[in-house]
Each structure stands twice: as C-alpha cells, then as structure tokens.
Chain A
Amino acid sequence: MFDFLAPRLKGFVIRCGARPALAEEIVQDVMLTIWRKAALFDPHKAQASAWIYQIARNRHIDIVRKESRPVPDELGEDPGTEPDASQIIGLEQEAEQLKHAIAQLHPDQKEMIVKAYMGDLTHQEISSQTGLPLGTVKSRIRLGLGRLRKELKGLR
C-alpha cells in the first residue's frame, strides 16, 4: 500500500501548494494516520480515497493555520438503513463514475475544479491568478460542480 499511495499523495500535496520538503513531511504524517486509524475507517460510508483526501487536506491545513480544523459530529446511520455489502459496491461504482465525470469535464472547468478541491486558491485568488472576472470563475465552478452533482444524484 505504501509504495502505491505515497507517491500519489506526494504529487497531490505538491499540487496543493506544498514545497517538496513540506510535502514529504505531510506524506509521512498522513501515512502514519492512515495506518493508525485504519480500524476507524468504515467502507460502508466512504471510499478509501475520499477518506485519505480529507486526512491529507486536514493535515496540510493544520500545519499552515497552526489551528486544528473543526470536525463535524458523526450522525450515525440513517434510521432504517442497515449497512451491507451492496453499499460498498455502490460506493466503488460511484467512485468510478466520478472519475469518469471528471475526465469528461471541459479543460477550463477541470482546471477550476482541481484548484477548488486542492484548496490552495480561494474564488478571489483564482480570479486574480487567471485574470478572469470573479463571476465567470464562480459560475464555472458551479457548472463543473453541477455536472458532478448530476452524476452523483443518480447514485444516491
């Protein structure tokens, strides 16, 4: 797992704006957290990549802001839904469709979406970086999100 995940994580963290030395440190922390908290990971609720994404972003933000991030309370299972194996398969399919939806995005939209999820740029900063008016950037993010949302709607 380490050999597969660590380089991807490092690439991701660098794209999130970390310099290589910091990226190594974050990858080390995240790998450690993944191993330590593996027992807490519930495959009925999320894909592993979604869980790892959040751990990586949280660690990065905690280092940058020096303030530990607020985390929502767990709401537990929806009443009436029993966790079962089909949920795991459903989530796997959802992950595949998501990757497909992302690959289908127009390059402009994809660029904005990537920036938004990497969290290194705010809407305001995205617009000053690209010289685009803020309204266009926002609607591009919204447009890209709308398409992702449509993909996800059918799956929920």
Chain B
Amino acid sequence: MPAITHHIPDEMIVAYVSGSLPHAFSMVVASHLSYCRDCQASLGAHRAAGGALLETGEGVAVDAGLKSKVLAALDAPAVPEPVYEAKGIYPGPVIHSLKGRPPRWKTLGMGVKQDILFEDSEGSARLLFIPAGQAVPDHSHNGLELTLVLQGSFSDETGQFGVGDVEIGDENLEHTPVADAGDPCICLAATDAPLRFRAFMPRLLQPLFRI
C-alpha cells in the first residue's frame, strides 16, 4: 500500500479527541486513524495534552458515598461492550456503524452507489461506490466535507487520493474527482450540509435521494 499523503489537520484531531467534532466527521477521523501511524502519533500527543490539563486542574470534592458506590458496582458482572474490528476493506469505525452487516448499496445512476450510514442535525456520513473511470458527480459544497478512500483511488484538480488518504473540502473547493483505473473506488464521505450535485440530477430530486 503506498504511503498516506493526505492527513487530518491538527485542529480537527483536537476536536475529535475532545469530542467537539460532530459524529459524522468523527467517523471519518477515526477511520483515517485506523490506517495512519502519523496521525495516531498526533492523537497520542493531544491526549497527553488533555491528560496534562486534567492533572493540573482544580479538584472538586466528590460525594462521600461515591467510593462505596463504585466499589459496589465493581462486584456486579460487567456487561461486555461489543467490539467492532476491521473487516475486508472496512476499518473498525465503519464496521461499528454498519453493526457488522455488509453495506446496503442504493444506486444513484451511472454505476455510482451509496449507503447512508449516519445522519443527525450536525451532519451525515455515507459510503460511496464509484466504478473505475467514472466521475464522482461534479459537486460543490455548502460546508465541510471529508472524503476518505477505503478502496481504489480517485484524482481531481488537487491531486491523487489512495487508500487511507482523506480529502478535505469546503465551499472554496470546486473539484471533479474521477475514480482511477483498477478496482472501483469506495469512499467514506461525511458532510455537514446537503451536497449539491449539479450536473447530475435536478435539485428538486435531491431530497428524495437524501444527497
């Protein structure tokens, strides 16, 4: 696998570590971290900074009964949390969101397919399937969009993106990503605003497809 060249910016790693990053984007960040030693190193550094702030901050007295409550709870059998590990081309965070099932692809036309994994008021995350040589429909962004490659690769005006690479788009990025020759390109994409697929389908239809 070629080296990862497109990473998560530091501020976004802080937002992920501290939990202020919306869930949809956290899915992409956690997935990129599942490939990338460099960003895991930054993650470790930022956790350490958070730990230092925790250690050096003022304490607040806890309820007198808290300790015995915790000790009592320790005696109760622990309910094991489900563990989601990477499977096939999908990193753990994607398997987590899929709850272990395979993707349920819905066709968007021209061989392009999607599976919406998550949606809330702050954003949405989806898997995209783009056949080789096929243009990802020309779209511009209302807000922030993160696109992480899970299989194959795509190229646009800004460069080439292979497995583990993440492209960060905002309203200033006008680009036309095209899936490179080879395996179909599968991506995890998160956005905080509805995408405007321009050359692709009428705006009125977008709510139907939830793009």
Q: Interface residue count for B (Cβ, 8 Å)? A: 55
0/1 per residue, A124-156, Cβ < 8 Å to B?
A: 000000000000001001100100110010001
Cβ contact within 8 Å between B56 and A102: yes
Instruction: Output the least CB separation between B61 and chain A (Å).
Output: 6
Contact A71/B93 with A98-B52, A117-B14, A120-B20 known, Cβ cut-off 8 Å:
yes
0/1 per residue, B1-42, Cβ < 8 Å to A?
A: 000000000110011011110010011011101100100110
Cβ contact within 8 Å between A95 and B18: no
Cβ contact within 8 Å between A7 and B50: no
Tell me the number of A-to-B contacts counted with CB atoms below 8 Å: 183
Cβ contact within 8 Å between B55 and A8: yes
Residues of A within 8 A of B (CB): 2-3, 6-12, 14-15, 20, 23-24, 27-28, 31-32, 35-36, 45-54, 56-58, 60-61, 65, 67-73, 75, 78, 91, 94-95, 98-99, 102-103, 113-114, 116-123, 138, 141-142, 145, 148-149, 152, 156
Known interface pairs A53-B53, A114-B53, A122-B20; 7 further A-B residue pairs with C-beta atoms within 8 A, sorted by A's residue number: A7-B59, A51-B47, A57-B19, A60-B19, A95-B52, A118-B18, A122-B15
Residues of B within 8 A of A (CB): 10-11, 14-15, 17-20, 23, 26-27, 29-31, 33-34, 37, 40-41, 43-63, 66-67, 69-70, 73-74, 78, 85-86, 91-93, 96-97, 120
